C-alpha cells in the first residue's frame, strides 16, 4: 500500500511543489546514458518527474506506481503521452524487455516487507533484457538520517498557485531498526484543513542488499556514492547476466 502523500488526491497534487528540488535525478539520467540504455522502467514513478525527464531526453519509458492519484498527476503533465503509465506494482507488469530499471529516492526503502522486496527484485530481473541493469539507492543506516526528521529541521510554508499557502513538517514516530516510521503534517491555509501521511522505511545494510540481489540472479557491478549526498547513500548498480 502506498502512503497517503501519494494516494490522497489533494496531497498528490501538491507533492511536487512541496519537494521542488530534484537535483538527485540528474545523476540517474547521466547513469542511464553511461549504461547505454534506450528503454527504461521506472518503478515507483510517483508523479512522474524522473520518467518525464528521461522521456524529454529521448528515452523510451514505462512508469509504474501503485498510487492512482500520483499517476493521475503524472498523466496531467505536459508531454505525458511520451511515457507509458501503469498503475500497479512491479509484480503486475506486462511482458517487458528494457535496458534499465530504476528505483529513485525512497522507493526501495518503502518496500519494507522482505517477501515483497524479493518479488520486486525478481520482477525487475524479469523485465530486463540480458545485460540490462538495475539501479537504486538506499540510505546508509550508519548515518542515522532519521535523527533530523523533526519539526524544527523540516518546518516550512510553501505558496502554491491555485492552492495557497501550505505548512508542512515531519515528526519522527518510531524507530524499531531496521524500520523507521515518520509522519508528514500538512495545513492548508485556504480552508484550515489538516492532513497527515505516515511512512515507514526499511534501512537495509549494504551486505543485506547485496545478498538479496544475488538471490534474484543479479550480478553486482558497483556500489556508488550519491553525488548530491556524499557518504549518506548507497547507489547499487546491478546487472542481469
Residue 25 φ/ψ, nearest 5 degrees: -80, -20
Can you name the residues that pair with 94 across neighbouring β-strands?
none
Can you name the residues that pair with 101 across neighbouring β-strands?
41, 134
**Total H helices, total E strands in the chain:** 9, 11
**Strand 60-65 to 233-239 pairing:** unpaired
Residue 219: predicted pLDDT = 98
In our burial notation (b when 16+ CB lie closer than 10 A, e otherwise), range 44-59 reads bbbbbbbbbbbbeeeb
How far is residue 82 from each of residues 74, 120, 132, measured CA to CA in Å?
A: 11, 25, 22
Distance CA 102, CA 58 (A): 16
Residue 100: predicted pLDDT = 99
Residue 228: predicted pLDDT = 87
pLDDT in tens, 69-118: 999 999 999 999 999 999 999 998 999 999 999 999 999 999 999 999 99
Residue 161: predicted pLDDT = 97
Residue 2: predicted pLDDT = 85
Residue 208: predicted pLDDT = 98
Distance CA 26, CA 83 (A): 18
C-alpha cell read off for 106: 525512497
Which residues are CB-neighbours of 194 under 8 A, at least 6 positions away? 185, 186, 187, 188
The pTM score is: 0.97
Beta carbons of 200 and 206 less than 8 angstroms apart: no
**Strand 98-103 to 164-176 pairing:** unpaired
Distance CA 90, CA 24 (A): 23
DSSP string across 165-227: EEEEEEEEEEEETTEEEEEEEEEETTTTEEEEEEEEEE---HHHHHHHHHHTT-EEEEEEPPT
Q: With a cut of 50, which residues of the chain have pLDDT below it?
A: none
Exposed/middle/buried for 209, CB within 10 Å: 0-12, 13-18, 19+? buried
Amino acid at each position: 500500500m502506498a502512503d497517503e502523500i501519494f494516494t490522497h488526491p489533494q496531497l498528490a497534487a501538491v507533492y511536487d511543489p512541496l519537494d521542488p528540488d530534484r537535483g538527485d535525478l540528474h545523476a540517474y539520467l547521466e547513469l542511464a546514458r553511461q549504461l547505454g540504455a534506450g528503454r527504461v522502467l521506472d518503478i515507483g514513478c510517483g508523479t512522474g518527474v524522473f520518467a518525464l525527464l528521461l522521456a524529454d531526453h529521448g528515452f523510451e519509458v514505462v512508469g509504474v506506481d501503485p498510487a492512482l492519484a500520483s499517476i493521475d498527476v503524472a498523466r496531467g503533465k505536459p508531454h505525458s503521452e511520451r511515457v507509458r503509465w501503469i498503475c500497479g506494482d512491479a509484480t503486475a507488469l506486462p511482458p517487458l524487455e528494457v535496458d534499465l530499471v530504476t528505483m529513485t529516492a525512497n522507493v526501495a526503502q518503502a518496500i519494507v516487507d522482505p517477501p515483497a522486496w524479493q518479488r520486486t527484485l525478481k520482477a525487475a530481473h524479469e523485465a530486463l533484457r540480458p545485460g540490462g541493469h538495475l539501479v537504486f539507492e538506499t540510505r546508509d543506516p550508519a548515518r542515522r538520517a532519521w535523527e533530523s526528521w523533526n519539526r524544527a529541521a523540516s518546518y516550512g510554508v510553501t505558496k502554491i498557485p491555485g492552492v495557497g499557502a501550505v505548512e508542512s513538517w515531519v515528526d519522527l514516530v518510531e524507530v524499531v531498526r531496521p524500520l523507521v516510521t515518520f509522519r508528514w503534517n500538512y495545513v492548508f491555509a485556504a480552508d484550515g484543513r489538516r492532513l497527515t501521511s505516515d511512512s515507514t522505511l526499511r534501512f537495509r545494510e549494504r551486505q543485506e542488499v547485496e545478498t538479496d540481489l544475488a538471490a534474484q540472479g543479479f550480478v553486482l557491478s558497483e556500489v556508488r556514492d550519491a553525488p548530491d549526498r556524499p557518504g549518506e547513500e548507497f547507489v547499487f548498480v546491478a546487472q542481469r547476466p
